[in-house]
Amino acid sequence: MELEPVIGLEIHVQLKTDSKMFCSCANNGDTREPNTTICPICIGHPGTLPVPNRKAIQYAIRGALALGCVINHETKFDRKHYFYPDLPKGYQISQFDKPIGENGLVELESKEGSKSIRIERLHLEEDAAKNNHHKPGVTHVDYNRAGTPLAEIVTHPDFRNAADAKQFLQELRLIMRTIGVSHADMEKGHLRCDANVSLRPASTKELHPKTEVKNLNSFKSVERAIEYEIQRQTKLWKTNTPPAETTTRGWHDTEQHTYEQRSKETANDYRYFPEPDIPPLMIEDLAQDEHRHLPEMPRDKRDRFIREYQFKKTDVQLMIENSDLADFTEAVMSEAIDWVGNMPTDGSRNEKIQTHGAKLGKMVGGWITSKLIGQLNERNITLKQTDVTPENFAELVTMIMSNQINSSVGTKVLSVMIDTGGDPSNIVDEQGWAQVSDEGALEDAIQKAINDNPDAVEKYKSGKTQLLMFLVGAVMKETKGSADPAVVKKLLAEKLTE
């Protein structure tokens, strides 16, 4: 029997508000000493009253809109009952039947092509405290995290493999960062995921009991846990003992396997009822305001960068992973296109841009994703930690395109720009790196390369023409990279045929 995986995700996104969901405690407990950002409200003292965080509601609306959800104009909070040491009230304030948003859609570009991932709902809730297991039998509870605002995002079971689930989470992280509602760092717990996995005979539509793998905190863990669970359940199906009930399992990252925790609770087990201390909220006006200020989504920006600037798809993927880099790229292209449009050649501005646009896009894309990012990574710094401006970077690229300097010199100039924030033309003048194309000025360096490499010259003349580039390299070394390689190649070929 051919089996098909059926996978859905439940994702918790920690919102980066200044204060917690229902009290005024600082929402930065992960950077503070345990149990120092707490108050009677977030640790559940009797008689305390929760007050909803307006910014958290705005962020949740923004997140729902970014995922294509329909916003419920009236929303409410509910009590979700369960008893754990990390939930001192004995219930969690969450949302049940009237979430912030429902029926969303995210388009995912996978290896098999475009796929539509349906979003069932996005709702708000408060986070529980954090259990720190120091050794068997010893657990300390840190309540700093209790009350942190969470947006829970639930997808439909639209994934059929682990790779797509991982890619969706990476796209979701980018969306949350783009709209500015969360740092969405999985390693720091800002983004946590539960994966629901089941199997069914291929070409059937029936859903079978699922296994929920809890609290996956890295993209690799999500992918590997799903893959492991598919293999585990496949063995059960092949022995005619498929899962008979919905269960919850944990993921052992060191040993790379899931392990049984408990049977999965249902909505009835949680005994939801409306939160009596918080009246229903009318959020239509907030939704309209958030919709007006919603930024360009990553998928739209990717498509536009490829369409407008003719960047390569692989370059665009790197560019928009970081909003600072994406904004920098756009500013560079604005400056560089102006330069192309004003080139001293025949044709109108639009004709020049159309003629040279693809070359410009390839040049800028390559230099940003390879040279710039590479040198920043070598220094272990970010673009924000440098004084490199879009104007100076655009000037560097146009100097290379106009043959004022070659790529080798350009790499050295970029290094100085990163370290000093200097202007590329000034750096070239100060260092004497301007590209030399004058044939007379190159004569001595070419003759020296020929004199210093008689074996290579003899082999070239006997038919090993590939050695011409070795001699070009010798000239480039002699001129400290300032010679025009095309001119050097032409002059060497002429000289060696005399």
Instruction: Give residue 10's region: left, alpha or beta (phi > 0; psi -120 to 50).
Output: beta
Q: Please give the Cα distance from 90 to 452 (Å, whole number).
A: 84
- Within 10 Å of residue 98's Cβ, how many Cβ atoms? 17
The domain locations on the chain are: 8-200+264-292, 298-431, 439-495
- Output the pLDDT for position 493: 85
Q: Please give the Cα distance from 490 to 30 (Å, whole number).
A: 63
Question: 410 is written with which tokens?
Answer: 């350009």
SS3 104: strand
- Output the pLDDT for position 87: 85
First to last CA, the chain: 76
Residue 265 pLDDT grade (very low, low, confident, very high; cuts 50, 70, 90): low
Q: Please give the Cα distance from 115 to 135 (Å, whole number).
A: 44
**pLDDT at residue 325 greater than cutoff 70:** yes
Q: Average pLDDT for residues 271-277, to the nearest whole number?
A: 94
- Output the pLDDT for position 259: 93
Give percent of the chain above pLDDT 70.
96
Contact 15, 59 (CB under 8 A): yes
Q: Please give the Cα distance from 312 to 365 (Å, whole number).
A: 7
pTM of the model: 0.85
pLDDT in tens, 114-169: 999 999 999 999 999 998 888 888 889 999 999 999 999 999 999 999 999 999 99
Query: What is the greatest pairwise CA distance in the chain?
Result: 100
Q: Which residue has the higher pLDDT, 407 or 25?
A: 25
- Within 10 Å of residue 133's Cβ, how many Cβ atoms? 9
Residue 266 pLDDT grade (very low, low, confident, very high; cuts 50, 70, 90): low
Mean of per-residue pLDDT scores for the chain: 91
Instruction: Tell me the CATH class for 439-495.
Output: mainly alpha
Residue 71 pLDDT grade (very low, low, confident, very high; cuts 50, 70, 90): very high
**pLDDT at residue 481 greater than cutoff 90:** no
pLDDT in tens, 232-249: 999 999 999 999 999 999
Residue spans of alpha helices (H) in 78-218: 162-178
pLDDT in tens, 172-194: 999 999 999 999 999 899 999 99
Q: Which of 222, 232, 213, 215 is nearest to 161 (CA)?
A: 222
pLDDT in tens, 376-395: 999 999 999 999 999 999 99
Residue 303 pLDDT grade (very low, low, confident, very high; cuts 50, 70, 90): very high
Q: Which of 329, 405, 426 is nearest to 373 (CA)?
A: 329
Residue 264 pLDDT grade (very low, low, confident, very high; cuts 50, 70, 90): low
**pLDDT at residue 420 greater than cutoff 80:** yes
Residue 258 pLDDT grade (very low, low, confident, very high; cuts 50, 70, 90): very high
Q: Please give the Cα distance from 154 to 164 (Å, whole number).
A: 16
- Output the pLDDT for position 345: 67
SS3 65: helix
Q: Please give the Cα distance from 429 to 419 (Å, whole number).
A: 17
Q: Please give the Cα distance from 368 to 375 (Å, whole number).
A: 10
Q: What would the DSSP string read from start to end of 47-105?
A: T------HHHHHHHHHHHHHTTPEEPSEE--EEEE---TT-TTSEEEE-SSS-SEEEEE
Contact 248, 212 (CB under 8 A): yes
**pLDDT at residue 498 greater than cutoff 80:** no
